Structure 1
Amino acid sequence: MLISLNWLREYIDLDKNIDIKELENALTMIGQEVEKIEKQGEHLTKVLTAKVLEKIPHPNSDHISICQVDNGEKVQQVLCGAPNHKVGDIVAMAQIGAELEEGFVIKKAKIRGEESNGMLCSEAELKIGKDHDGIMILPQDTKLGIPLNEYLGLDDIIFELEITPNRPDCLSHIGIARELAAYYSKKLRLPEVNVNVEDREDIDISIEEGLSNRYLARVIKGVKVEKSPEWLKNRLEAVGIRSINNIVDISNYVMLETNQPNHIFDFNKFNSKKVTITKAKDDEKFVTLDQKERILNNEDIVIGNGEKTVALAGVMGGMDVEVDENSTDILIEVAHFDNIMVRKTNRKFALSTEAAYRFERAVNTENMEYVMNRITSLIKEIAGGKVCNINDNYPVKPEIKVSTLSLPRLYRFIGKEIEKDKILDIFEKLEIKIEDKGDEILLTAPSHRQDLINQFDYFEEVIRMVGFDSIENVMPSVNLTKERLEDTTRFVTDIKKIVSNLGMREVINYSFIPKNSLEKILFEIHSDNIIEIKNPIVEEFSILRPTLMYSLIKNVRDNINRGATDIRFFEVSKRFTKESTNKVNEKSVLIDEMQVFEKETLALILSGSKIKNIWNAKPENYDFYDLKGVVEAIFEKLKFTKYQIRRSENKAYHPGRSVDVFVGKELIASYGELHPDVLENMDVEKNNILYAEIYLDLIKKYISNNVKYKGLSKYQSVPRDIALVVNENVLVGDMIKTIEKIDNLIEKVELFDIYQGLGIEKGYKSVAISIIMRDDNKTLEEKEINDIMTKIINKLNKDFGAVLRG
């Protein structure tokens, strides 16, 4: 952002001889970093106004003249090759020692035997214009011997500032002047606007919801479009803006003055009393002011006249409604547009206009009527015309932001006490409304300060204005205390340690996934329960993941593609869902609301070989039981024992090679081999990928931290093995749970073999189970043992149709 010192003086009284270094420091202290300072016209200090007294041809050249030139102090001989001057002309003469640009210093020289003591310069050579066909001719009444920068008023200082994104109000001369006025305790002068409405022209303004918070339009009839006056042209060019004509220049001038972008249409070309703010149609073609055809879509905001598009909102106007030298009636637009959509359009077409740069950040909708009248006032003064009424559509008014500032907390924050009156004075200078409540102050941010949200933002304002250098350096007191982690944080940390100790490697993924990813992994969820991102950065990040499965399969796929095939990954992260909650409103009526939940989750994935191909062992891939062992080891470490195993109905898993873990009716975990369709959808070549998802937010409820110790029994245990034939669809876990409940003397039940094949009828399986019995008070007798085994066989036969294998 280029800021002109002379321009700033329009709004604040700065000492004429103010030290530039001191002003640079003031700008830095109030948070506006100065990147560069340019003294405008510094290269013209040794270029003087001078008069040509004599002009004769060079004896040895047919295109060079020998001139005698009076610079107000003495007459000097200067050689010149330009043909456009004559005796009596006032010209710009560069003296010996003048440096017109870096490395180009004027020196005394001899040209074909004749001496030259300077140079008569063109506008291009002086870097003040583009005319290089002849030397610069000044008006006849120009005094001699005046430095050209002084004569042209090019004595300005230009500051190049790096404005932070949270301070868009400082993208203007009034914004910077307001900051300096507060810093120097001076009064801010805003330009007066005197507008007399002379005619009426009603404009119907239609705004599609969400595209614009406010839109103002005004017609001025009978303006005269011509070159801008010198003061306006010089002021714009000083900050890098090319002069076009008086109307367009006023538009740019007010934008740089107030930070409010605006646009001016030729009202006759606009040819309508209707203004529409809508989304563009897909593949709509539109020619912008730079004469380039753009292909639009429904992510672009456009201004229309009811029949066609006339401008790319917030970015650039259209060729068809451009103001030119033939324009007489104009339509002025002062508006707000959705900053996200403007940013996308600006990036897409790589236009980078000053207007778009401001719309992307924020504009002050409360200041728009003043801006409209400021533009009108200047147009009336410079271009004439008959002023019509303002048409204003203001669908979304800004929220009034009120914050409570605690003085004790402020003092602790900055490490010193400041007089309360001084703090109140700072806020008043910054145009912040205050309500004194003793140790607390209620603060209302002005409409141009959208960055002031909470009390810490106001702390920063106080520090800026008292000066960072006024706060003493104090060594912080260090109180060493034992770290106290929240229960959830400690639990997650413990889980990571447990899983890492089992040989798993942690991965960290984004919480965002593509919307179509859930279809790929056959994950069943109602669309109402999915949390969609309104404006995702990329399509890959369009929803918050309700499961970690997609991310870990993608990790495996990417690693396999890079040659890493043997994988043991885990991730601890949150899954996100929207769920229905019944609440009672203020009228005691039960209402159904959707609420977002974040749920802590552990995911495990295995792929490839658990034993590599080495000389003394055959390669062996991971299978269901390897994953089962990892899951059960985690459960054991967590002392989570009271759960039931059921065949999984999750379509993402291979049927018959996956299970769900329940406590009562609550699903705690699922694990098993992934379905071949999932792997095909995810473009994974391997087919032995095992996945587990454990819901830590639920399992935590069932973990007991009360450890009970029991001494070793002095009586020996009695082991018995039985082999039973059952239908292949019977879950062995259910059989084991049934056995455990048959008698209190049963200490442990374990599966040690499953067999299907020769000797076993098709559709059945042989299940071998080990049963350990013990009585802590005596040695079991044979009859007791046999009675228990008989109960077991009969119960399994009754409940599962199991028969002893012959």
Structure 2
Amino acid sequence: PEWLKKRLEKCGIRSINNVVDITNYVLLEFGHPLHAFDADKIAGKRIRIATSDTTGLQNVSIYTLDRIERKVPEDTLLIWDSEKPIAIAGIMGGLNSEVDKNTTNIFLESAYFEPFSVRRTSKSLGLVSESSYRFERGTDIEFLINALNRAAFLIKEIAGGIIYELIDSYPVRCIPVPLEIRYEGINKFLGTQLSKEEMLEILKRLQIPAENRGDYFIVYPPSARRDIKNNSDVAEEIARLYGYDRIKSTIPRRFTPAAQSNKKLKIISQIRDCIRKQGFIEVINYSFMSLESLDIIGVPETDKRRNAISIKNPLSKEDSFLRTTLIPSLIENFKYNLDREIEDIRLFEISKVFEDTGKQLPLESLRLGGIYYREKKPSLWKEDTPGFFIVKGILESIFYEFRIKGYSFISSSEPFLLKGQASDINVNEEKVGYIGLLLPEIGERLNIKKPKLEIFLFEIDLDLLIKFIPDFITYVSIPRYPSVERDIAIVVNEDIPASDILNMLKTFPSDVIEEVSIFDHYKGANIPEGMKSLAFSIIYRSKERTLTDEEVEKVHSSLVEYILRKTGGELRK
């Protein structure tokens, strides 16, 4: 009829035929989807509901009402006759059982399907319908017969015919769980002063059955209100009908303790600030890598950084493992910037790395990684400071900032760093990281065409480093007596690390040596081939008196003699 067609059109649904239009009309009227099958097309005159994997059939497909053949996943819930699938449950009927102009017998279905099952199937097939939209959000399981009777009545009135019989398959009845609600609890939750009578009256107006039991009441959630599951849901229903604008604002009475300071987060934030002051820019990378990235930088198969955890469903081959080191990601960032003609590249990242230890959970550790590159330009008046010492100085500034004592730089054997310009960073003889110059051949593998390419890298285990940061800074009083500063410049074999000599000076047995530092490293004119000149500054001070020149000279001479004997070097003249 015309009235039915117009009402459907106003709701955005096109008219198909009288039977299908009636099922759509009932859908809009009651919010419950129905489906009409041509009964003469149902083989065996009976239907069943099953997933394709329980039927023993493989590669099941069905032509749906939109005339598209769809291959359905094995766990898809289908409606079958005795031979074939005739509908995708809760979503769309099959073309092989549609109602058309030749239909004389109708099988009308009114069913309830689990929202999760319908949503999963709808997403996997990429198929959304008016029915799936309703079933995904939940329908009233107790309203099936009402919707069915309404549709049958309209079909009889409009199309004529005889209603044959009703088949009701409801094996396990769905009984809502009663909720025990305390009046006092509702008022406390909402901040109201509602009486028992007011609460019960509100629920009555919402057609939510409730029984008064003295201090509390029992709520029986209607089958149409699957969202009412606990006390908070009942309180929400009462509040929205009572009126949110009528609920007065109150200050929380609960005492909230002060938040505890997280030492680790505070230190990490300070480290970020410290390294940013040195001109570094923070990068944030994905925590993924490929094993090929370890091959490029020459990490051997026996290295623990090869113990990577594979990702189950990686987006790409390059992101198929969790990172065991930050270095490959930083090299990628460097190359990206270098390709865009950036001449001064200083990048750092603070992130976790993951190592497969064979246990249920991986070993996670927080790392600080960095990369430093500055394009060399000729200088007419001053020789550039070597990049290694720049990066080393940056890390030492972090150690100084956090009062970390007992650190040293010892020759490193990291596979991707150039020997002689690579150091392990130790604190109290425990390795916490490394620093060094990237091997030139790695730059060639990355197709970086730059003459005299010098890329400096560092990586520090922050979880280990934080252990050596003191909880409290100890106050040191201002010295009462003056200090005496002496310098020493020695020529030694270039294979001897400066850090070894520095440690010798610091550990020399004397109670008047206050501080030792290196201030010059020289190779060139007047220095023999294979040798280098190192200059150190030594500060002498006594805690008990002012030192005389004779006392300082005596200790200094002994110190010089000790160092020359240990290193086999000579004083620079």
Give the TM-score category using the shorter length.
0.5 to 0.7
State the 1:631 CA deviation: 1.7
Q: In structure 1, what is the equivalent of residue 569 of structure 2?
A: 804
Change (3 A) 1:533 1:725: same
The structure with more helix, counted as a fraction of residues: 2
Equivalences for residues 344-743 of structure 1 within 5 A: 345-346=125-126, 352-358=128-134, 362-363=137-138, 367-368=140-141, 370=142, 373=145, 377=149, 382=155, 384=163, 390=169, 417-419=193-195, 422=198, 429=206, 431=208, 461-471=237-247, 486-507=262-283, 509=284, 513=288, 524=305, 526-528=307-309, 549=327, 552-572=330-350, 574-575=351-352, 577=354, 593-594=360-361, 601-609=367-375, 623-646=387-410, 657-663=421-427, 668-674=432-438, 688-704=454-470, 705-712=472-479, 713-725=481-493, 728=495, 732-734=498-500, 736-737=502-503, 739-743=505-509
Paired amino acid for 2:406: K
Q: In structure 2, what is the equivalent of residue 335 of structure 1?
A: 113
Report the TM-score when normalising by structure 2. 0.66
Q: In structure 2, what is the equivalent of residue 242 of structure 1?
A: 14
CA distance in 2: counterparts of 1:690 and 1:760, whole angstroms: 26
CA distance in 2: counterparts of 1:418 and 1:460, whole angstroms: 14
Question: Helix, strand or coil for the counterpart of 1:594?
Answer: coil
Change (3 A) 1:703 1:667: same
State the 1:698 CA deviation: 3.9
CA distance in 1: counterparts of 2:213 and 2:431, whole angstroms: 55
CA distance in 2: counterparts of 1:620 and 1:251, whole angstroms: 84
CA distance in 2: counterparts of 1:406 and 1:678, whole angstroms: 73
Equivalences for residues 214-293 of structure 1 within 5 A: 236-245=8-17, 248-249=20-21, 252=24, 256=28, 267-268=42-43, 275-277=50-52, 287-292=63-68
Unaligned runs of 5+ in 1: 1-127, 130-151, 153-229, 582-591, 797-801
- Retained in 2: the 8 A contact 1:303–1:313? yes
CA distance in 2: counterparts of 1:436 and 1:580, whole angstroms: 59
Paired amino acid for 2:487: P
- Retained in 1: the 8 A contact 2:410–2:424? yes
CA distance in 1: counterparts of 2:271 and 2:449, whole angstroms: 31
Paired amino acid for 1:661: I
Equivalences for residues 72-221 of structure 1 within 5 A: 152=3
Question: Helix, strand or coil for the counterpart of 2:371?
Answer: strand
Change (3 A) 1:285 1:471: same
State the 1:255 CA deviation: 5.1
- Retained in 2: the 8 A contact 1:432–1:443? yes
Paired amino acid for 2:482: K
CA distance in 1: counterparts of 2:186 and 2:463, whole angstroms: 36
Change (3 A) 1:457 1:274: closer
CA distance in 1: counterparts of 2:209 and 2:389, whole angstroms: 68
State the 1:604 CA deviation: 3.4
Paired amino acid for 2:489: D
- Retained in 1: the 8 A contact 2:421–2:437? yes
Superposition CA RMSD, Å: 6.0
Change (3 A) 1:566 1:667: same
Paired amino acid for 2:347: F
Paired amino acid for 1:567: I
CA distance in 2: counterparts of 1:470 and 1:317, whole angstroms: 49
Change (3 A) 1:464 1:612: farther
State the 1:630 CA deviation: 1.6
State the 1:700 CA deviation: 2.9
Change (3 A) 1:580 1:245: farther
State the 1:432 CA deviation: 9.7
CA distance in 1: counterparts of 2:235 and 2:132, whole angstroms: 31
Report the TM-score when normalising by structure 1. 0.50
- Retained in 2: the 8 A contact 1:612–1:618? no
Paired amino acid for 1:569: L
Change (3 A) 1:775 1:474: closer
Change (3 A) 1:255 1:644: farther
CA distance in 2: counterparts of 1:697 and 1:432, whole angstroms: 58
1:301-322 CA-to-partner distances (Å, cap 9, x unmatched) read 6859699887677655554454
Change (3 A) 1:466 1:518: farther
CA distance in 2: counterparts of 1:653 and 1:448, whole angstroms: 69
CA distance in 1: counterparts of 2:385 and 2:44, whole angstroms: 75
- Retained in 1: the 8 A contact 2:79–2:89? no
CA distance in 1: counterparts of 2:9 and 2:342, whole angstroms: 61
Question: Please, which moves more after superposition, 717-726 or 301-310?
Answer: 301-310
Question: Helix, strand or coil for the counterpart of 2:473?
Answer: coil
Q: In structure 2, what is the equivalent of residue 74 of structure 1?
A: none
- Retained in 2: the 8 A contact 1:282–1:298? no
Question: Helix, strand or coil for the counterpart of 2:493?
Answer: strand
Change (3 A) 1:355 1:546: farther
Change (3 A) 1:246 1:253: same
- Retained in 1: the 8 A contact 2:287–2:353? no
Unaligned runs of 5+ in 2: 156-161, 300-304
Question: Helix, strand or coil for the counterpart of 1:631?
Answer: helix
Q: How many residues align?
A: 532
- Retained in 2: the 8 A contact 1:548–1:603? yes
Change (3 A) 1:444 1:649: farther
CA distance in 2: counterparts of 1:718 and 1:460, whole angstroms: 80
State the 1:725 CA deviation: 2.2
State the 1:769 CA deviation: 5.8
State the 1:716 CA deviation: 1.8
Change (3 A) 1:804 1:544: closer
Question: Please, which moves more after superposition, 628-637 or 383-392?
Answer: 383-392
State the 1:415 CA deviation: 6.6
1:547-570 CA-to-partner distances (Å, cap 9, x unmatched) read 655665554444445444433334
1:141-192 CA-to-partner distances (Å, cap 9, x unmatched) read xxxxxxxxxxx5xxxxxxxxxxxxxxxxxxxxxxxxxxxxxxxxxxxxxxxx
Paired amino acid for 1:804: G
